């Protein structure tokens, strides 16, 4: 898809001209561009008057205008809104795309003006959302569904020639959605193909020509040498070998903060010996959505090259049953020497994260640590699919991440990290156990991880409810959402510089 910015002109040739109409604009008629021909102007005014259009977010009105160079005009009622919020923008873009799927055309034009609902500062958002909405995972049907939307170019019409900064913002938005699509593809791929080795293979393909990011793949033998007993225990029941994927980007700036991202990479989670119920177990292919998001972020980092050092770490394993599988009651030792009693083998995500966090903190000494994981059903019970749970040991980091969540519309909700919960993790035979009991499960999972970050400013983001099949977000469709990619890329822009 191509996105460009131009000045409007008389005699414009367009397959689809999109015009938003709000309640106040309906009264004034200001929503009609000055450069539109008199005939088209009259047709639009008459249609809006008859339909009393724009008072509410309404079904779109498509006006066919065959004698004009503007073949069709799409009117979208935007109600009482006076500014473009992200939720409203999602609804508008979804509406536009639904119309585009029913008509033939290649070029769509959208007037933007700082006096209207769509301002110049919103161009990047509209391009980003259009790109997100065009994503399709075609899967493995013998006859794959083709994308019905044939439009291949969006042209934003501005009275004043847009500056290069606007074009840069569009390019950055498209880069973000490319990274998002990569993360969604990884998570949507079924578990028999997206094994730990399959994940590594797909990442290598994406980064083949991305020199700013260095990939290092470490196998089970390396993990044994590093005493990563927690990660290896999770992988023990599967024939698929585990891997530790390291992705390093170093800024050209001499003094730069270092961010370490860790993503849970359980490519399929059967629950192990503590086997999950059969219903919806197929969704456990999404249990590597945190790792997929980290891989997506690193893809965008390679393109955008921020002034921050970024290291992505993805512990990859399959949690299966087998004669060698870890058992409830077993005790394993993590790479920082802490011993863990396995109470439930379905609480495996925190085990692979524990080793990855402890190993990464020791090796890279980051300024900030953020992990993403589809970790607990408890966070879904608390927040549904409307927000991810944020557990953070640093007030400044928490404040920035909450702000980034609102701006990216990958929203976070702060959860406690009080020491009162530590007692639930006490074990009689080891330093701690991997399950804290029935109550407060998302909090005790985060408290389990806390000893493995060595006091570094750290945030744990539980994305179990937001990683796939979210409701009331038709632009995202079914399947993986790529939650965390936009959030973390926004965070990279806000990391405080080195003083």
Residues 184 and 54 in one domain: no
Read off the pLDDT of residues 8-27 as tens digits, 9 standing for 90 and up.
877 788 999 998 887 655 55
Last residue of a domain, one of 125, 160, 195: 160
Q: Give domain status of residue 180, yes or no.
A: yes
Q: Rounded to the nearest 5 degrees, what angle is found at the Cα of 272, between the Cα atoms of 268 and 277? A: 80
Q: Give domain status of residue 169, yes or no.
A: no
Task: Of 38-52, 238-252, 266-280, 374-388, give the lowest mean pLDDT range.
Answer: 38-52
Last residue of a domain, one of 160, 194, 221: 160
Read off the pLDDT of residues 254-308 as tens digits, 9 standing for 90 and up.
889 999 999 999 999 999 999 999 999 999 999 999 999 999 999 999 999 999 9
Q: Give domain status of residue 166, yes or no.
A: no
Residues 198 and 97 in one domain: no
329 or 146: which leads in pLDDT: 329
Query: Residue 60: is its pLDDT beyond 90?
Result: no
Give catalytic residues, as residue numbers: 276, 350
Say which residues have a Cβ less than 8 Å from residue 284's Cβ, sequence separation at least 6: 191, 266, 268, 269, 270, 276
Last residue of a domain, one of 134, 160, 186: 160
CATH number assigned to the domain comprising residue 61: 3.40.220.10
Cα gap 268→284, rounded to integer Å: 5
Query: Residue 91: is its pLDDT beyond 80?
Result: yes
Q: Give domain status of residue 165, yes or no.
A: no
pLDDT at residue 144, rounded to an integer = 63
pLDDT band at 118 (very low <50, low <70, confident <90, very high): confident
pLDDT band at 57 (very low <50, low <70, confident <90, very high): low
pLDDT at residue 287, rounded to an integer = 98
Residues 80 and 132 in one domain: yes
Q: Which residues of 377-408 are buried (b: 16+ CB within 10 A; e: fewer)?
A: ebbbebbebebbbbbbbbeebbebbbebbebb
Residues 290 and 436 in one domain: yes
Paired with 155 in beta bridges are 4, 109
Cα gap 350→234, rounded to integer Å: 10
Q: Give domain status of residue 455, yes or no.
A: yes
Residue 351: which of 363, 338, 364 has the closest Cα?
338
Residues 134 and 180 in one domain: no
Query: Residue 145: is its pLDDT beyond 70?
Result: no
> What pTM does this model have?
0.94
Q: Give domain status of residue 168, yes or no.
A: no
Residues 134 and 191 in one domain: no
Residue range of the domain that includes 8: 2-160
Read off the pLDDT of residues 190-200 as tens digits, 9 standing for 90 and up.
999 999 999 99
pLDDT at residue 76, rounded to an integer = 87
Read off the pLDDT of residues 428-484 as tens digits, 9 standing for 90 and up.
999 999 999 989 999 999 999 999 999 999 999 999 999 999 999 999 999 999 999
In the chain, what's the furthest Cα-to-Cα distance? Answer: 83
Q: Total domain count for the chain?
A: 2
pLDDT at residue 142, rounded to an integer = 80
Residues 53 and 184 in one domain: no
Q: Give domain status of residue 51, yes or no.
A: yes
317-332 average pLDDT score: 97
pLDDT at residue 56, rounded to an integer = 62
107-119 average pLDDT score: 86
CATH number assigned to the domain comprising residue 241: 3.40.630.10
Cα gap 393→405, rounded to integer Å: 17
Residues 152 and 198 in one domain: no
Q: How much of the chain is in helix, strand and coil states, percent to nearest 5? A: 40, 20, 40
| End-to-end C-alpha distance for the chain, whole angstroms | 41
320-332 average pLDDT score: 97
The CA radius of gyration of the chain, in Å to the nearest whole number, is 25
pLDDT at residue 125, rounded to an integer = 95
Residues 278 and 149 in one domain: no
pLDDT band at 134 (very low <50, low <70, confident <90, very high): very high
393-397 average pLDDT score: 97
Say which residues have a Cβ less than 8 Å from residue 453's Cβ, sequence separation at least 6: 357, 358, 361, 369, 393
Read off the pLDDT of residues 242-252 as tens digits, 9 standing for 90 and up.
999 999 999 99
Residues 249 and 218 in one domain: yes
Residues 70 and 189 in one domain: no
Residues 317 and 457 in one domain: yes
Cα gap 32→65, rounded to integer Å: 15
Q: Give domain status of residue 499, yes or no.
A: no
- 420 burial (CB, 10 Å; 0-12 / 13-18 / 19+) is exposed
């Amino acid at each position: 898809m191509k996105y460009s910015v131009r000045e409007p002109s008389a005699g414009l040739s367009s397959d689809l001209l999109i015009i938003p109409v709000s309640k106040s604009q309906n009264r004034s008629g200001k929503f009609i561009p000055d450069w539109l021909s008199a005939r088209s102007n009259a047709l639009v005014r008459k249609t809006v008057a008859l339909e009393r259009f724009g008072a509410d977010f309404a079904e779109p009105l498509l006006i066919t205008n065959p004698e004009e160079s503007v073949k069709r005009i799409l009117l979208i009622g935007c109600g009482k809104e006076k500014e473009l919020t992200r939720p409203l923008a999602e609804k508008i873009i979804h509406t536009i795309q639904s119309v585009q799927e029913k008509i033939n055309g290649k070029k769509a034009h959208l007037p933007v003006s700082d006096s209207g609902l769509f301002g110049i500062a919103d161009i990047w958002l509209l391009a980003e959302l259009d790109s997100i909405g065009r994503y399709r995972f075609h899967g493995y049907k013998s006859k794959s569904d083709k994308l019905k939307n044939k439009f291949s170019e969006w042209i934003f019409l501005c009275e004043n020639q847009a500056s290069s900064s606007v074009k840069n913002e569009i390019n950055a938005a498209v880069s973000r959605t490319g990274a998002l699509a990569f993360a969604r593809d990884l998570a949507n791929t079924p578990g028999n193909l997206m094994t730990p080795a399959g994940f590594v293979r797909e990442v290598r393909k994406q980064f083949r020509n991305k020199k700013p990011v260095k990939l290092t793949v470490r196998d089970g033998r390396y993990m044994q040498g590093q005493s990563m007993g927690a990660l290896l225990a999770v992988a023990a029941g599967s024939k698929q070998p585990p891997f530790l994927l390291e992705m390093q980007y170093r800024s050209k700036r001499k003094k730069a903060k270092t961010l370490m991202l860790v993503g849970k990479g359980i490519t399929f989670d059967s629950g192990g010996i503590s086997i999950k119920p059969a219903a919806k177990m197929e969704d456990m292919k999404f249990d590597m959505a945190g790792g997929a998001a980290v891989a997506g972020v690193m893809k965008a980092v390679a393109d955008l090259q921020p002034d921050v050092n970024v290291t992505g770490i993805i512990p990859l394993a399959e949690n299966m049953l087998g004669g060698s599988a870890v058992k409830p009651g077993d005790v394993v030792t993590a790479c920082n020497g802490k011993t863990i009693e396995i109470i439930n083998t379905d609480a495996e995500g925190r085990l692979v994260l524990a080793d990855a966090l402890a190993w990464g903190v020791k090796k890279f000494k980051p300024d900030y640590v953020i992990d993403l994981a589809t970790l607990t059903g408890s966070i879904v019970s608390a927040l549904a699919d409307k927000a991810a749970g944020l557990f953070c040991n640093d007030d400044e980091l928490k404040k920035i991440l909450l702000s980034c969540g609102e701006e990216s519309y990958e929203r976070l909700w702060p959860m406690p990290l009080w020491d009162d919960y530590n007692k639930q993790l006490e074990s009689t035979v080891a330093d701690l156990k991997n399950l804290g009991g029935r109550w407060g499960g998302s909090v005790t999972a985060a408290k389990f991880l806390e000893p493995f970050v060595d006091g570094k400013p750290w945030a744990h983001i539980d994305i179990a409810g937001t990683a796939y099949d979210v409701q009331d977000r038709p632009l995202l469709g079914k399947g993986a959402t790529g939650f965390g990619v936009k959030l973390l890329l926004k965070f990279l822009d806000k990391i405080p510089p080195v003083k």
